[in-house]
Structure 1
Amino acid sequence: MTLALEIVLVITSILMVIFVLLHRGKGGGLSSLFGGGVQANLSGSTQVEKNLDRVTILLGLIWIACIIALNLINTYSGNPGPVPA
């Protein structure tokens, strides 16, 4: 169970970095590299940006849930963890 949560955590971390970099910021961001820059400036927020926001929020929620679950498993598994020096 712990290994599966750790794998999901790594995958969601990498995807979060990618999706956050794809967001259009004040300067255009990396999303303008894929052709969204001109249309997004003319029409405000496009459907692609809205979907990108939704996916990023969903990934963030999965990421937070994995962190909480791993912490709970580590706390209640009976393993004391590293001993302080």
Structure 2
Amino acid sequence: MTLAFSIAVIICSLLMVLLVLLHKGKGGGLSDLFGGGMSSSLGGSSVVEKNLDRLTIIVGSLWFICIVVLGLLLKK
């Protein structure tokens, strides 16, 4: 049982890294170093960005739940 949750945490962690890297930089900071400041903004969030936000929240929630359940299983 703990093996399944450990694998789920690893998969969710990798997905979180990928999803965060896919987000558009909001200007300033390290995102400008990688060309994030050079892209033109078209005035608002597109449907793709909103769906990416939702997917990131869902994967983050799954990651948190897996961490809590794994912690409870390892405590016993």
What TM-score bracket applies, with the shorter chain setting the length? 0.7 to 0.9
Q: Could you tell me the TM-score, scaled by structure 1's length?
A: 0.72
3-state SS of the aligned residue for 1:42? coil
Question: Which has the higher relative contact order, 1 or 2, with Cα contacts under 8 A spaced 6 or more apart?
Answer: 2
In 2: Cα distance, 1:19 partner to 1:56 partner: 6
3-state SS of the aligned residue for 2:24? coil
Please state how far the C-alpha of 1:43 moved relative to its aligned partner.
3.3
Q: Paired residue for 2:54?
A: 54
Q: Paired residue for 1:45?
A: 45
Q: Could you tell me the TM-score, scaled by structure 2's length?
A: 0.80
Runs of 4+ in 1 over 2 A off after TM superposition: none
Q: Which has the larger radius of gyration?
A: 1
In 1: Cα distance, 2:75 partner to 2:16 partner: 26
Q: Paired residue for 1:82?
A: none
In 1: Cα distance, 2:5 partner to 2:22 partner: 25
In 2: Cα distance, 1:53 partner to 1:63 partner: 15
In 2: Cα distance, 1:19 partner to 1:46 partner: 16
Q: How does 1:1-85 map to 2 (within 5 A)?
A: 1-27=1-27, 37-38=39-40, 41-76=41-76
Report the number of matched residues. 69
Q: Which runs of 5+ in 1 are unaligned?
A: 77-85
Letter of the 2:2 partner, please give it.
Answer: T
Q: Which moved more, 1:18-27 or 1:59-68?
A: 18-27
